[in-house]
Amino acid sequence: MIRFENVSKRYPGGREALRGVSFHLERGEMAFLTGPSGAGKSTLLKLVTLIEKPTRGTVIVNGQNTSRLSRRAIPRFRQRIGVVFQDHKLLYDRSVFDNVALPLVILGLGPREIERRVRAALDLVGLLGHERDAPITLSTGEQQRVGIARAVASRPDILVADEPTGNLDPELSLEIMRLFERFNEVGVTLLIATHDLDLIERFDKRRLRLVDGLIESDTAAPGRAA
């Protein structure tokens, strides 16, 4: 589902964020991307969501070589990927409902279908009843869950998350990871960047450790290895 082949990314100015990274995430797999800050986690996720293109090597997502996608093809490509950001990236002049509905509106779904799916997504993250609220009136954890609802509302094949629990207390963090695990159970492929090692200890999932732009270790799910 997500395949990196000897991928390097050098930013203008010479900083090399990734230096020959290779891995393959199968369809339906869930993996944590760990490593110290500055190791290249965000860059790697940006290559998956086509915010950046690799300097060298090949990134294949959903069967598509991202280097060969034209500018015009990017929106359709992104419509099949759900993204969760550390800073939520919500639109604060719109209601919770409108935020979650955004990807569905882009898909051009009818109002009934949008209503149904938004409610289903909000139900999933435990925010049903907050449709009319302004995001700013919600707590950080709730805002993060709105962001997650938005990412899954369009039922993407792939979900990537950059430090989704970065600003949350341990209890909320665990709750959100459990939520991701449930998406994985219904077949969504997940790649989650996090530095919260204690948290991921509690999940039986694959771990990719990135250090200084290189994959230092690629550990299969401990449960499966045993």
Partner 1 sequence: MTRSLRRYLSLHAQSFASAAASLARQPIATLMTALVIAIALALPAGLRVLVGNASSIVGSWDTAVDFSAYLAAAVAPERAREIAEDIRRRADVEAVRLVTPDEALADFRARSGFGEALDALGENPLPYTLVVRPASGAAGDVEGIAAALREIDEVELVQLDTEWVERLRALLGLAARVLDVITALLAVGVALVVGNTIRLEILNRAAEIEVIKLVGGTDAFIRRPFLYLGLFYGFAGAVGAAVLIAVVLELLAEPTAAVAALYGSDFRLAGLSAGDAAVLFAGGALLGLAGAALATARHLRAIEPR
Residues of this chain that interact with partner 1 (CB under 8 A) are: 49, 51, 72, 75-81, 83, 89-91, 93, 102-103, 105-111, 150, 154
- Distance, CA of 44 to CA of 215 (rounded, Å): 11
The residue among 157 and 204 lying less far from partner 1, judged by its C-beta, is 157
Minimum distance between the CB of residue 155 and partner 1, rounded to whole angstroms?
A: 13
Please name the residues in contact with 63: beta carbons below 8 A apart, sequence gap of 6 or more: none
The residue among 150 and 209 lying less far from partner 1, judged by its C-beta, is 150
Minimum distance between the CB of residue 171 and partner 1, rounded to whole angstroms?
A: 28
The residue among 40 and 203 lying less far from partner 1, judged by its C-beta, is 40
Minimum distance between the CB of residue 174 and partner 1, rounded to whole angstroms?
A: 26
The residue among 51 and 220 lying less far from partner 1, judged by its C-beta, is 51
Give yes or no for a contact between 139 and 169, defined as CB atoms under 8 angstroms apart: no
Minimum distance between the CB of residue 78 and partner 1, rounded to whole angstroms?
A: 4
Minimum distance between the CB of residue 72 and partner 1, rounded to whole angstroms?
A: 7
The residue among 72 and 224 lying less far from partner 1, judged by its C-beta, is 72
Nearest to 157 by CA among 43, 26, 65, 22: 26
Q: Where are the beta strands (DSSP E) in the chain?
A: 2-10, 16-25, 30-34, 56-61, 64-65, 81-84, 158-162, 189-193, 206-211, 214-219
Q: Are strands 56-61 and 214-219 parallel, antiparallel or unpaired?
A: unpaired
Distances (CA, A) of 141 to 87, 136, 172: 11, 12, 7
CB atoms within 10 A of CB 195: 17
